Structure formats: structure tokens, C-alpha cells
Amino acid sequence: MPLTVTSIGPGRLSRRWAHRKEEKVLNQFVNKIRKEMGLSNEVPEFDPDNGNENAKILFILEAPGRKATNTGLISLSNPDQTARNFKNQLDEAGIRKQDIAIWNIVPWYLGNGNNIRAAEAGDVNMGLKYLGDLIQILTKLKYIVLVGAAARRAHVYLSYTTDIKILGCHHPSPRVVNNYPEKVAENVAVFKKIK
């Protein structure tokens, strides 16, 4: 049965948290960021239902939203429209969860609880420090997909720090999907190239 956004109920979260113990290196990575930045749940963890340390594709978005900080996970199953849009696009392209890891160029929440602000150049530059560390952990990567304009700011950095193939696509936010439906088709076409 495919996951739906509503399938992230309490029982499902308990199973997911049990699986996260298997991903010690990624948990240590997240805890390092939390400690260095003086944060806690503002830096969500990787979804243990994804491939993560075994991923061949790393999707990098802008920054975690409020729903990700509420669930504690960067997940396609989070109860928000961006997660739903992204999941639908990946499903249409035939991308399997076990082949992916999802991260943010700015790993921490940029909001105040009510509103989220856009990532600024300084935020992205701080996030790049951690992105290099993450790529060293994810040794099976074949592709890095920069999702949206903020994530694409990492392109030059990645071009000189890794030989992994770098691609870009549009952000799956409701604003993009609702106003520019042709961009959904473009994303799916990009994703099919890396399937």
C-alpha cells in the first residue's frame, strides 16, 4: 500500500523511530549540527523509510518546514502539501524510497513558529559546511538533485567538491505546482533520467 500523507500516525512514527537506530552515522551527523547550532528539533532527522546511507540519489531542498520539525523527520509522508507534491512527482517518475535521501541546504527551521522565511545567502553558506560532510557519509550516491532556487545556490560548491552528477529541478511547493503546472512535468522528466 503506498504511503499517504495521513499515514504518518503515531504507530507509524513509533516504527520509524525504532528504525532510526540503524542509521547511527546519520543520527550523529544531525546531532552534530544540533549541538554546533544550539538547536534541537529545529533540525529534523532523515526519514528511516528512505534509503539514506544506501541512497543513490540525494535530493536537497531549501530548509525544513514546520511540519518537518513537528514530526522530527524530513519525510515525503509529512502532513503538508509540499511533501505530497514531491512524493507524487517521485512516484510518477518511478523513484523508489529506498534509493533516496532527502536533506535541506539549510538543515534548520528558518521560521518563528507561524511563518517561515526564505533562505538567505548567509544561511546557505552555513549549510554548505554540513553538506560536504553529508556527501562524505553517503558513499553510494550517483546523483545530487538540487530542488528549487535556494538549493541551486550549492551548485558551484558541489561542482568543485564532488564528482557526483548534479541535476536541478523546481521546488514542489504548492505555489510552484499550482501556478506553473508545466514545472511538474519538467520535474518528472528530470527524475526519470535518474531512475
* Predicted TM-score of the model (pTM): 0.89
Selection from 64, 58, 55, 71 nearest residue 9 by Cα = 71
Residues 2-58: tens digit of each pLDDT:
333 444 555 555 555 555 555 689 999 999 999 999 999 999 999 999 999 999 999
Overall average pLDDT of the 166-181 stretch:
97
Q: Can you name the CATH fold of 5-193?
A: Uracil-DNA Glycosylase, subunit E (3.40.470)
Distance CA 179, CA 11 (A): 36
Would you say residue 163 has pLDDT above 90?
Answer: yes
Adjacent-strand bridge partners of 165: 143
pLDDT in tens, 111-154: 887 888 999 999 999 999 999 999 999 999 999 999 999 999 99
Angle at 138 (CA atoms; ends 192, 121), nearest 5 degrees: 80
Q: What is the DSSP letter of 7?
A: G
Q: What is the DSSP letter of 47?
A: P
Q: How many angstroms separate the CA atoms of 153 and 162, rounded? A: 15
C-alpha cell at 174: 504548492
Phi, psi of 89, rounded to the nearest 5 degrees: -65, -45
Task: State the pLDDT at residue 115.
Answer: 87
Task: Evaluate if residue 185 carries a pLDDT over 70.
Answer: yes
pLDDT score at 140: 98
